[in-house]
């Protein structure tokens, strides 16, 4: 127990230490200040701008930024769909894979395009190396950079700046943040035993005289951007539980830190943009405390194990079902909470085997989306809750709500409400439809409370652009491939549109002088109220699902049934 808790504590301490360092660097990149990479990156960026016809200093309005996001994503989606469809005739296909069926191909393309990376297929038996690297790997960079750009544009708008230029933000996010860190991280993973090869499947003879086929490929480069960009899609079917994706405790630490580093740092980046580091730290600690509580709840559940099994055996042992012994209960619990908190979606153990406490924590993360949230968009969701808190507290004291001296009016509240309401709509409605037809549509493998959690988790993961799953569902079917696409698309693009319009609205408002009655948002009291509002809204919206799923399952296990 002590060693497991020490591993969790070490990881959390590293996150705290690197947050201000990476946060400052991200701020310098998007404020276009000098960085160490300028001599190398500046000529490359200038060439890219000339090639695509982008004027670096040309700012966009909210709708221009939105159109740039949508048009670029559409073109990238068509390109990647075509690459995978024609993978049989393209290079780096040593196993001779043909095109997947149209529905799984459409689901895969849109899933990776939106930074969701929900996989209803097994990578090592479906896609060529070219498709994995040149198609999906390409989307891993661009989808993460798209979310990062939107998050930065939102921060600019909140702090009274123009939104910037999407194409410039996209380029700088890839060239100065994602690509350099991914190169260093991929080299580290390569040194730790993660393969990077274009050779095909290795055929070996076992000691019993049988034949074994060992899949491999260019995994190290794929794995690092998968974690850093909060993509989560695995090169292999079992994702980061596979020893070629995550071979040991050191690689597990690197990948866990990579997942959480940018979302945590963006809160500090906001503090620099707003010239209010105090508020950034208060928000950081608010999110961090909720995160630690969820990790503790999950870890204790896994440490105590399954009471039915322990009572029958007369032993007290952790729940090790669905876990890699090289990680154990502690690192699996930490990873499960981190991957759903950051909207990464990668797994180093099977979430379907988590105790009810773990299912509760992972679902709660997917419902709330701000601990730590998606790449860039999670930071925006955090400030949506902050704006709603300002509005509610303003109503309580009879003052016009203001944020950074800019009045929050009907338009801003409507847009903020759209961001928060679209998520339960695209999670609960399709879940209800699927649960109404458990045999023909759901394909549930576990009846009762856990079966309900499986279905809701799949749609929550899709709508939150997370991509992980409880598994146990027959999800490689026409129903699941198409129905989850609706949740993926609506959960990605409707909030982005509302976020950018809200930012554009705030950036254009005149600043009102501060008075003694102005509500300060950088106080401990206000941050505590924000935490309360966030938790209450999240719990009220999804409590029936939590009560009928993991909570009911926990009571059933405790009763010995």
User: Is residue 339 within 8 Å of residue 117, measured between CB atoms?
Assistant: no
Residue 515 burial by Cβ neighbours in a 10 Å radius (0-12, 13-18, 19+): exposed
pLDDT at 395: 75
Distance CA 344, CA 116 (A): 8
User: Is residue 392 within 8 Å of residue 511, measured between CB atoms?
Assistant: no
Q: Which residues contact 193 (CB under 8 A, 6 or more apart)?
A: 243, 247, 248, 251
Q: Which one has a higher pLDDT value, 2 or 310?
A: 310
Distance CA 420, CA 370 (A): 11
Minimal CA–CA distance to 322: which of 308, 340, 312, 335? 335
Q: Is the pLDDT of residue 74 over 70?
A: yes
Cβ neighbour number for residue 195 with a 10 Å cutoff: 21
Q: Is the pLDDT of residue 402 over 80?
A: no
- pLDDT, average across residues 230-250: 93
Q: Is the pLDDT of residue 556 over 80?
A: yes
pLDDT band at 374 (very low <50, low <70, confident <90, very high): confident
- Between the CA of residue 526 and those of 23, 230, 529, what are the distances in Å? 23, 30, 5
Report residue 214: phi and psi, to 5°: -110, 110
pLDDT band at 400 (very low <50, low <70, confident <90, very high): low
Could you give the 3-state DSSP secondary structure of residue 141? helix
The DSSP H or E segment spanning 420 is helix 410-436
Tens digits of residue pLDDT in 432-450: 998 888 777 777 777 789 9
Q: Is the pLDDT of residue 286 over 90?
A: yes
Tokens of 558: 């405790």
Distance CA 192, CA 171 (A): 30
Q: Partners of 402 in the beta sheet?
A: 407
Tens digits of residue pLDDT in 103-135: 999 999 999 999 999 999 988 899 999 999 999
Could you give the 3-state DSSP secondary structure of residue 403? strand
pLDDT at 399: 67
pLDDT at 516: 63
Q: What dihedral angle (degrees, nearest 10) is formed by the CA atoms of 318, 320, 326, 327?
A: -70
User: Is residue 107 within 8 Å of residue 481, measured between CB atoms?
Assistant: yes
Q: Is the dihedral of CA 349, 351, 353, 354 positive or negative?
A: positive
Averaged pLDDT score across all residues of the chain: 90
Tens digits of residue pLDDT in 143-180: 999 999 999 999 999 988 899 999 999 999 999 999 99
Question: Of 16-25, 56-65, 286-295, 487-496, which gets the smallest average pLDDT?
Answer: 56-65
Q: Partners of 151 in the beta sheet?
A: none
Tens digits of residue pLDDT in 482-492: 999 999 999 99
- pLDDT, average across residues 53-67: 88
Distance CA 184, CA 191 (A): 11
pLDDT at 100: 94
Tokens of 325: 């012994």
Question: Of 329-343, 390-404, 522-536, which gets the smallest average pLDDT?
Answer: 390-404
User: Is residue 278 within 8 Å of residue 321, measured between CB atoms?
Assistant: no
Q: Tell me the pairing of strands 202-205 and 211-214.
A: antiparallel
- pLDDT, average across residues 452-475: 90
Radius of gyration of the chain (CA): 23
**pLDDT > 90 in the chain, percent:** 66
Query: ∠494-495-496 over CA atoms, to 5°?
Result: 90
pLDDT at 398: 66
Tokens of 515: 């008075």
Q: Which one has a higher pLDDT value, 554 or 508?
A: 554
Tokens of 187: 């080299």
pLDDT band at 52 (very low <50, low <70, confident <90, very high): confident
pLDDT band at 561 (very low <50, low <70, confident <90, very high): low
- Cis amide linkage into residue 372, ω under 30° from 0: yes
């Amino acid at each position: 127990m002590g060693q497991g808790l020490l591993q969790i504590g070490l990881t959390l301490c590293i996150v705290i230490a690197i947050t201000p360092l990476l946060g400052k660097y991200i701020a310098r990149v998007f404020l276009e200040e000098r960085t160490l990479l300028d001599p190398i990156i500046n000529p490359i960026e200038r060439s890219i701008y000339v090639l695509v016809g982008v004027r670096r200093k040309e700012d966009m309005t909210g709708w221009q930024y939105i159109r740039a996001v949508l048009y670029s994503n559409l073109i990238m989606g068509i390109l990647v769909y075509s690459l995978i469809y024609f993978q049989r005739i393209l290079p780096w296909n040593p196993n001779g894979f043909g095109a997947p069926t149209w529905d799984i191909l459409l689901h895969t393309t849109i899933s990776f395009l939106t930074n969701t990376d929900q996989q209803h297929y097994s990578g090592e038996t479906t896609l060529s190396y070219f498709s994995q690297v040149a198609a999906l790997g390409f989307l891993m960079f661009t989808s993460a950079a798209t979310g990062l750009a939107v998050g930065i544009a939102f921060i600019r708008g909140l702090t009274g700046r123009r939104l910037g230029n999407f194409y410039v933000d996209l380029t700088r996010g890839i060239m100065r943040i994602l690509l350099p860190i991914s190169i260093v991280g991929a080299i580290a993973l390569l040194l730790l035993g993660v393969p990077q090869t274009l050779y095909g499947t290795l055929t070996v003879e076992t000691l019993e005289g049988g034949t074994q086929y060992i899949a491999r490929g260019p995994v190290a480069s794929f794995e690092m951007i998968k974690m850093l960009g909060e993509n989560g899609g695995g090169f292999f079917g079992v994702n980061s539980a596979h020893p070629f994706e995550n071979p040991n405790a050191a690689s597990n630490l690197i990948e866990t830190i990579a997942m959480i580093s940018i979302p945590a740092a963006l809160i500090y980046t906001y503090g620099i943009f707003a010239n209010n580091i105090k508020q950034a730290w208060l928000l950081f600690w608010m999110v961090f405390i909720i995160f630690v509580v969820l990790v503790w709840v999950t870890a204790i559940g896994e440490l105590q194990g399954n009471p039915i099994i322990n009572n029958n055996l007369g032993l007290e042992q952790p729940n090790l079902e669905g876990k890699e012994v090289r990680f154990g209960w502690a690192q699996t619990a930490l990873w499960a909470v981190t991957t759903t908190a950051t909207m990464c979606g990668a797994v180093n153990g099977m979430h379907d085997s988590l105790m009810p406490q773990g299912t509760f924590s992972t679902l709660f993360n997917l419902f709330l989306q701000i601990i730590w949230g998606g790449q860039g968009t999670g930071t925006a969701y955090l400030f949506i809750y902050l704006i709603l808190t300002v509005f509610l507290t303003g109503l309580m004291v009879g003052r016009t709500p203001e944020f950074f001296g800019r009045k929050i009016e009907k338009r801003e509240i409507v847009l903020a409400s759209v961001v928060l309401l679209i998520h339960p709509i695209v999670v609960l409605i399709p879940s209800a439809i699927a649960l109404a037809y458990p045999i023909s549509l759901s394909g549930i493998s576990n009846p009762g409370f856990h079966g309900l959690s499986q279905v809701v988790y799949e749609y929550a993961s899709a709508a939150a652009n997370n991509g992980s799953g409880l598994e146990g569902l027959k999800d490689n079917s026409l129903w699941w491939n198409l129905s989850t696409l609706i949740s993926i698309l609506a959960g990605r693009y409707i909030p982005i549109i509302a976020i950018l319009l809200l930012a554009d609205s705030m950036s254009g408002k005149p600043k009102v002088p501060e008075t003694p009655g102005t509500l300060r948002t950088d106080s401990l009291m206000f941050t505590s109220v924000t935490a309360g509002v966030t938790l209450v809204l999240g719990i009220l919206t999804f409590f029936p699902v939590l009560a009928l799923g993991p909570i009911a399952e926990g009571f059933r296990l405790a009763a010995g049934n």
